């Protein structure tokens, strides 16, 4: 686990045949009010939590898991984390929280073929991701957590309830799988994905002043060039409709 800046820590995903999302830890350790952003792939729960030891983080200080979205590579080990730390709350955007509470896991797997593959590979069963969501996030909220402010920006397109978290003080953006380094964007062919919505979401993110980009996969970028998200959008715009 590495410190990106004060109050923002990074545990790199360990991809297998299926990718494993990065995990970010948010909050000043002195606040004893820390948040995990995204959990990771099935089977990774214990190793993700072990990575916290490097920072000297007490598990008791982790208060919640905030999901950028609920694809399997992000939510896969949430249940393992909940089993190890039963007190943590789960915060998810309303549009993905409500289906999950009702046992609708189509967003988790994205497509039926992938679902059958994962069920056989990981022994997953229908209902494994049904859970009670403690807080349903909405666009425009500001989360005052761990001595920091994070704005919730609803950025549908890659999935219907994707959110980005934005910290204006540090100009830090955690966009989930909406935009990555190297002018890449999230796929938009899975359950309830929407290319036109993704275009609008990228437009919204392009309005933010971002210096540190912390995506769900691949490289993280400090010193992001000005206009990076607009430039990315320009490269993809003709595909997004
Ligand atoms: Zn995703
Ligand atoms: Zn992902």
Q: Domain coordinates of the chain in residue numbers?
A: 2-239
pLDDT of residue 84: 94
Residues with CB under 5 A from ligand 2 (ion): 21, 73, 177, 216
Rounded to the nearest whole angstrom, what is the distance from the C-alpha of residue 16 to the centroid of ligand 2? 13
How confident is the model at residue 102, as a pLDDT?
A: 97
> How far does residue 30's CA lie from ligand 2's centre (Å)?
30
3 backbone dihedrals φ, ψ, rounded to 5°:
-85, 125
**53 Cα to the center of ligand 2, angstroms:** 24
135-175: pLDDT as tens digits: 999 999 999 999 999 999 999 999 999 999 999 999 999 99
Distance 30 CA to ligand 1 centre (A): 32
The closest ligand to the CA of 19 turns out to be 2
User: Model pTM?
Assistant: 0.97
Weakly modelled stretches of the chain, pLDDT under 50:
none
Q: What is the whole-number distance in angstroms between the Cα of residue 217 and the centre of ligand 2?
A: 6
**What integer pLDDT is reported at residue 1 of this predicted model?**
74
CATH number at 2-239: 3.60.15.10
pLDDT confidence of residue 78: 97
195-206 vs 228-236: helix crossing angle, rounded to 10? 160
Q: pLDDT tens digits, residue range 103-118?
A: 999 999 999 999 999 9
Separation between Cα atoms, residue 48 and residue 98, nearest integer Å: 26
Q: Which long-range contacts (CB under 8 A, 24 or more apart) does 188-193 make?
A: 188/157, 188/158, 188/240, 190/71, 190/107, 190/110, 190/111, 190/158, 190/159, 191/106, 191/107, 191/109, 191/110, 191/111, 191/159, 192/106, 192/107, 192/159, 192/160, 193/157, 193/158, 193/159, 193/160
């Amino acid at each position: 686990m590495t410190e990106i800046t004060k109050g923002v820590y990074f545990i790199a995903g360990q991809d297998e045949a299926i990718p494993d999302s990065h995990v970010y830890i948010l909050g000043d350790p002195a606040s004893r009010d820390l948040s995990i952003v995204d959990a990771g792939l099935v089977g990774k729960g214990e190793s993700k939590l072990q990575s916290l030891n490097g920072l000297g983080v007490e598990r008791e200080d982790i208060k919640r898991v905030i999901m950028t979205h609920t694809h399997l590579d992000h939510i896969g080990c949430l249940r393992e984390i909940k089993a190890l730390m039963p007190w943590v709350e789960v915060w998810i955007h309303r549009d993905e929280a409500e289906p999950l509470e009702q046992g609708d896991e189509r967003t988790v797997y994205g497509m039926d073929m992938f679902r059958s593959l994962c069920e056989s590979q990981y022994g997953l069963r229908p209902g494994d991701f049904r859970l009670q969501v403690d807080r349903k996030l909405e666009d425009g909220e500001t989360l005052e957590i761990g001595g920091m402010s994070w704005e919730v920006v609803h950025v549908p397109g890659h999935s219907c309830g994707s959110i980005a978290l934005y910290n204006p003080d540090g100009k830090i953006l955690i966009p989930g799988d909406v935009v990555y380094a190297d002018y890449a964007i999230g796929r938009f062919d899975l359950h309830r994905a929407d290319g036109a919505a993704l275009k609008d979401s990228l437009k919204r993110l392009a309005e933010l002043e971002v210096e540190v980009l912390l995506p769900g996969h691949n490289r993280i970028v400090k010193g992001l060039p000005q206009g990076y998200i607009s430039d990315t959008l320009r490269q993809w715009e003709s595909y997004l409709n």
